[in-house]
Amino acid sequence: MQQVFKRPVSLKDVQTHFCPGCNHGTIHRLVAEAMDEFGVRERTIGVASVGCSVFLYGYFDVDVVEAPHGRAAAVATGVKRARPDSFVFTYQGDGDLAAIGTAEIIHAANRGEDITVIFVNNTTYGMTGGQMAPTTLVGQKTSTSPYGREHAKDGSPIRMAELLAQLGGVAFSARVAVNTSRNLMDAKKQIKKAFRYQVEGKGFSFIEALSTCPTAWGVTPIQANERVGRELIEYFPLGIFKDTADWNPQSSPTAPVEQPGALPFPEFMHEI
Amino acid sequence: MGRIEIDETRCKGCGLCTTACHLKLISLSKELNVLGFTPAVTTNREKCTGCALCAELCPDVAISVFKDK
């Protein structure tokens, strides 16, 4: 018999600190598989964020820089400009990228930095105890929104993949999920595509991966994966929001800007 | 024909592999492993097709899959 599935070389053979059923482990593996496929492990520099992804350096067999909270995209900019031959990726959660790091990610994306950003969105601050994040769904109960998030008081969840797709520097923006086998296979393809864009020097590539936090959500891992399919994907649709496959960076300096599809107005707009 | 090997010392007993297997060949053990979790175990091993969907969904990369070529 031949081994058809084994641990990627880029992923260290160690026990992770993640809670049982946390999708971080799965997304780590997909990123490591993409690194193996392109053979970039020796020249990869990862940039870790603050949150459950903070121990990136212990799990990936690559060099890792630890960024201050939210600043991974800014640190990655410096790494890539100082070492243009290196392969640079950041791995950030939603409390890091979509809250304290919003300025850094938007400007890094708008400048079209040649980096890959893996954004893990589990709609809560997992490591610090399940507080409300900018991506928390309306009505979702967290430790800082015990009656559920209210639109009038807290606003609506940010859709980062769509938001960044509007910027001229972004070459690729997609949202994936790893809750089912089918979604996971799609996620694997899109992560590899995002890595390929950096290998080819096409500019900023962005992957938003919907994830779970069984501990903070207060459900079992199986129920958490079911919630991704039932509630998260409804608000955060899966798919590619920008793909500049035909864009040649040498002939035109900025990636073509795509107009996002019309989203329905929220309910309160009709009352005005 | 296929075969899977579950590393019981790594398994955290989340049970996601039990939902991935279409043939329901994986279940959670009643015994605790060294981590204090109930690890996944296989039953009816001869029916395994080696599709590797359980290994794909495992967050702890605790499953290795072997298959006849």
Number of domains in chain B: 1
Give the residue on B whose Cα is nearest the Cα of A24.
B59
For chain B, the residues whose C-beta falls within 8 A of a C-beta of chain A are 1-3, 10, 12-16, 18-20, 35, 37, 50, 52-53, 55-61, 63-69
- For residue A68, what are the β-bridge partners? none
Question: 């001869």: which residue's tokens?
Answer: B46
Residue B55 is part of which domain span?
2-67
The CA distance from B10 to the nearest CA of chain A, in Å, is: 7
pLDDT at A19: 95
Question: Are the C-beta atoms of residues A174 and A190 closer than 8 Å to each other?
Answer: yes
Q: What's the CA gap between B48 and A192, in Å, rounded?
A: 29
- Does a structural domain hold residue A4? no
Residue A115 pLDDT: 96
How many domains are contained in chain A? 1
User: Which pLDDT score, from 0 to 100, does residue A171 have?
Assistant: 92
State residue A247's pLDDT score: 67
ipTM of model: 0.95
CB distance A6–B64 less than 8 Å? yes
Instruction: Please tell me the distance in Å from B30's CA to the nearest CA on chain A.
Output: 17
Residue A164 covered by a domain: yes
Look at residue A235 and tell me if it is in a domain: yes
Residue A234 lies inside a defined structural domain of this protein: yes
Question: The CATH number of the domain where A121 resides is what?
Answer: 3.40.50.970
Rounded to the nearest angstrom, the minimum Cα separation between A182 and chain B is 9
**By C-alpha distance, which of A206, A25, A236, A126 is closest to A228?**
A236
| C-alpha separations of A15 from A95, A176, A211, B35 in Å | 24, 25, 20, 10
Alpha-carbon distance A211 to B8, whole Å? 24
pLDDT of residue A269: 47
Q: Kindly report the CATH number assigned to the domain that includes residue B38.
A: 3.30.70.20
Task: Describe chain B by its helix, strand, coil percentages, rounded to 5.
Answer: 20, 25, 60
- The string of DSSP letters for chain A reads -EEEE---TTB-SS---PPTT-THHHHHHHHHHHHHHHT-GGGEEEEE-SSGGGGHHHHBSSEEEEPPTT-HHHHHHHHHHH-TTSEEEEEEEHHIIIIITHHHHHHHHHHT-S-EEEEEE-SSBTTTTSB--TTPPBT--BTTBTT-B-HHHH-----HHHHHHTSTTEEEEEEEE-SSHHHHHHHHHHHHHHHHHHHTT--EEEEEEE---HHHHTS-HHHHHHHIIIIIHHHS--EEEEE-TT--TTT-SSPPPPPPPPPPPPGGGGG-
Domain that holds residue A258: 24-271
* Average pLDDT of adjacent 10-residue blocks, chain A of 272 residues: 93 95 96 96 96 94 96 97 96 95 96 95 94 95 95 94 91 94 93 94 94 96 96 93 76 63 50 48
pLDDT given for residue A236 in this prediction? 94
The answer to whether the beta carbons of residues A207 and A190 sit under 8 Å apart is yes
pLDDT over 80 (residue B49): yes
